[in-house]
Structure 1
Amino acid sequence: MAAVVVFGASGVAAVAAKLNGNMDKVDVSALVNPMPSATTEPDPDDPNAGQAVNLLILGSDQRDGVNAEIGGEAAGMRSDTSMVLHISADRSRVELVSIPRDSLVDIPACTMTNGKTTRATHGMFNSAFATGWDNGGDMTSAAACTINTVQQNTGLTINHFVVVDFAGFQQMVNSIGGVPMCIPTAMKSDMAGLSLEAGFQTLDGPTALAYARARKGQGIGDGSDTNRIGNQQKLIAAMVREVLSRDVLTNPQKLISFLSAATGSLTTDTGMSIGNMTGLAYNLRNINGGNITFMTIPFAPAKSDPNRVEWTSEADVVWANIAADVPALGEEPVAPEVTTPPPASTTAPVEPVAPVEPVEPVAPAPVETKKAGQEAFSVDDTTDVC
């Protein structure tokens, strides 16, 4: 039904077929253990309706074809951006948890499409993707090894995955007319091809990609991947804000345009169809920006290598909360306000007090800003002030 609402009864099949054809789909079911299984009869619009969804989002640093023209040629394939997107079962809450690529984690033995099986090891998180690509030679092996690594280290079940490349990211940004952002200080990175003046800017596709990729340069930070994560979160939050403000999820033509751009350079699992996407979008159409949270999994410098990080015990709590489908950071119970009635008067009336001199109004408190990448924040929160 959601697809019919979005595409119209007459054009639903043609539009859905076109958009499905845009995506590269790979079947990882034989290489991932365990695979999620439905416990109820699936809803054709949202097969996971009534169930929480965990989606693994990977940013591909693939350098061939159009992507080589954008980012320059390089051998192999890496995944430098990784997020777990959790959608609550009641579709009222979305959480995106960034995983630093330099996280030291247990990488399980991974089986490839060619039958080869790698040895289990302990290393950087993003080496799981490279291990699959280098030994299996395809996206299926790379994605499956990454999913297995996420599941082993988090205890989560990954329902679906999406890999976005350079070209696809640019197309998504351009499809919504660019991304308005506050740039508090001028930013310049020759390596990333980024040059931004301070102030409010609307980033087009190429500029947004450069902003997301930049690690070193003027106004960018300490050059670490963990610092870059904050900029990536702010950018995606701004994109979400723009999608919500432009009613992309509720306007059929806008949603079709966005999905057409978004699916142009996506690789996903065979279970993720346009019908699934539109069903999820339709069920999330009324979500409040304050219920869309971004955070980085809690980490500290690794004891074995100061250039790497390891997850803290707080990370275990985050993953456990997501697995239980409760807010990732937990909720402190709010004590009900108790009003005590004043005692009955037993004394004589008090003489009126002379009026007090007027007091100058207090200046409003400065806007509280959240440090993206270091603190959790929502789409409605302020992360920069211009």
Structure 2
Amino acid sequence: MLLTSRGRRIGGRVALGVVSTLVLGATGYAWSQLHRLDASLVTADVISPSGRVPAEQIGQPLQTAQNILLVGLDSRTDANGYPLPQNVLDALHAGDSTDGGDTTDTMIVVHIPVGGAAATAISIPRDSYVDIAGGLGKHKINSAYSRAKANAKSTLSAQGLSGPQLEVQANEAGAKSAIQTVEQFTGLTINHYAAVNLAGFYALSNAVGGVEVCLKAPVHDSYSGADFPAGQQSLSGAQALAFVRQRHDLPNGDLDRIARQQAFLSSMAKNVLGAGTLTNPAKLDALMSAVQGSVVLDKGWDVLSFARQLRGLSSGSIGFATIPVQSLSLQTPYDGDAVQVDPAQVREFVRTALATPAVTASSESASQGTGVRPVANTSTPSTSSTPAEPPSLSSPRVSSASGCVN
């Protein structure tokens, strides 16, 4: 029988940074900060010529749909290739600089239709068993980045590169592999790329003063550091990272972790877009500093122009979805248990999700000055004790983020 994760599930660490970056259009002060941000972000040359947005479209109303790949890196280096301090890793329950492995533990494709007044975010489970681009074999999709990075690092080291320069160039190779793998898996062309590391998520959640979440039951997990009571609570910093990283002792393992990340992102988007963050100079400065130190964007992405194109986007016009999966315990020759997926089914699901009236109406509503009915309403998790629905065996769907999670 076809097993699917709830449409409500979505990865979220890096999306928080990008959503925060893309919607800073509320005030003149926010625009001045975007100018500062645009000049100081770390960039990487990772988008293929076929995915680059034509120069004549930059700064104009969104004329063609765009797809953004957001990844959360399990990396122990910062955006500039320098190792994270051990005290930071200790606070994040992240081991030491040799742990991790630069896997993309969160992978989300955000589709923005013509007009830019809506967005659909599609999550890809990190253990999806797929063909890795570049002839690297069939493995879990989260290893596309680390496998290509390891190969590049070996070659670049032999050429004499070392230190941060080696890390940065090897990271570009990893990003290109991740992008190409997602493209061939989903059938979408990726136009933009953004990545954030562990410390970046810590800083972003602190910058907005915490995010409201709701748990069905108390949890205690020594691996991630998650130690929370049941019910609604506000999390930031190391607590926020532990909440979205936990996957041990959850009923549905990594799928429940995706559900948490999606709920966190939903609440975070509402916080940033509707709680005064963009009109509060102190909060906005903190947000800008967090993004500058943690997010890597593709080279040539004009953030200021892109934000102008999305000025109609609100927290209520962001829809969430997760690709369909067939099994959560596929036995593989070399990678242990993986998530079984059917690429043809995934591509059909993506086409259907992005062809819904709510998504395709974006350009019409933008030109008419009317509101877009979102694919899914993004709202703060419910304060009631009513649990969110259990994992579904029905067809995958685009859904909202509400209710308590495991």
State TM-score, norm by structure 1: 0.73
Shift of 1:165: 0.7
Shift of 1:328: 7.8
Distance 1:382 1:323 in 2: 22
8 Å contact 1:174–1:205 — kept in the other structure? yes
State TM-score, norm by structure 2: 0.70
Shift of 1:176: 1.3
Q: Deviations over 1:295-333 (max 9, x none)?
A: 211111176549222224542222223565866899xxx
Q: How has the CA–CA distance of structure 1 residues 198 and 368 changed in structure 2, closer, same or farther, with 3 Å as cutoff?
A: closer
Partner of 1:298: helix, strand, or coil?
coil
1:317 and 2:348 aligned: yes
Paired letter, 2:351? A
Task: Give aligned pairs, total.
Answer: 326
8 Å contact 2:113–2:360 — kept in the other structure? no
Shift of 1:8: 5.1
Distance 1:240 1:8 in 2: 20
Distance 2:125 2:405 in 1: 26
Higher helix residue share: 2
8 Å contact 2:386–2:403 — kept in the other structure? no
1:65 and 2:84 aligned: yes
Equivalent positions of 1:197-346 (< 5 A) are 197-217=229-249, 220-222=250-252, 224-248=253-277, 255=284, 257-276=286-305, 278-284=307-313, 287=314, 289=316, 291-301=317-327, 305=332, 307-312=337-342, 314-321=345-352
Q: How has the CA–CA distance of structure 1 residues 329 and 270 changed in structure 2, closer, same or farther, with 3 Å as cutoff?
A: closer
Q: How has the CA–CA distance of structure 1 residues 3 and 103 changed in structure 2, closer, same or farther, with 3 Å as cutoff?
A: closer
Paired letter, 1:190? S
Shift of 1:57: 0.7
Distance 1:270 1:236 in 2: 25
Gaps of 5+ in 1: 110-118, 331-365
Shift of 1:167: 1.4
Residue 133 of structure 1 corresponds to: 149
Partner of 2:175: helix, strand, or coil?
helix
Partner of 1:243: helix, strand, or coil?
helix
User: Structure 1 residues 177-186 or 253-262, which shifts more?
Assistant: 253-262
Q: How has the CA–CA distance of structure 1 residues 202 and 278 changed in structure 2, closer, same or farther, with 3 Å as cutoff?
A: same
8 Å contact 1:319–1:328 — kept in the other structure? no
Identity %: 29
1:145 equivalent among 177, 195, 204: 177
Partner of 1:86: helix, strand, or coil?
strand
Partner of 1:148: helix, strand, or coil?
helix
Gaps of 5+ in 2: 1-22, 77-82, 154-169, 362-384
Shift of 1:249: 5.3
CA RMSD of aligned residues (A): 3.4
Shift of 1:61: 0.6
Shift of 1:136: 1.6
Q: Deviations over 1:278-307 (max 9, x none)?
A: 3255231xx362x32222111111765492
Shift of 1:201: 0.6
Shift of 1:55: 0.8
Partner of 2:50: helix, strand, or coil?
coil
User: Structure 1 residues 82-91 or 258-267, which shifts more?
Assistant: 258-267
8 Å contact 1:23–1:267 — kept in the other structure? yes
Q: How has the CA–CA distance of structure 1 residues 368 and 154 changed in structure 2, closer, same or farther, with 3 Å as cutoff?
A: same
1:91 equivalent among 116, 124, 132: 116
Residue 41 of structure 1 corresponds to: 56
Q: How has the CA–CA distance of structure 1 residues 328 and 43 changed in structure 2, closer, same or farther, with 3 Å as cutoff?
A: closer
Of structures 1 and 2, the one scoring higher in RCO (CA 8 A, sep 6+) is: 2
Distance 1:183 1:270 in 2: 39
Q: Deviations over 1:92-131 (max 9, x none)?
A: 322111111111112121xxxxxxxxx3422211111111
Distance 1:98 1:72 in 2: 27
Larger radius of gyration: 1
8 Å contact 1:22–1:264 — kept in the other structure? no
Residue 19 of structure 1 corresponds to: 37
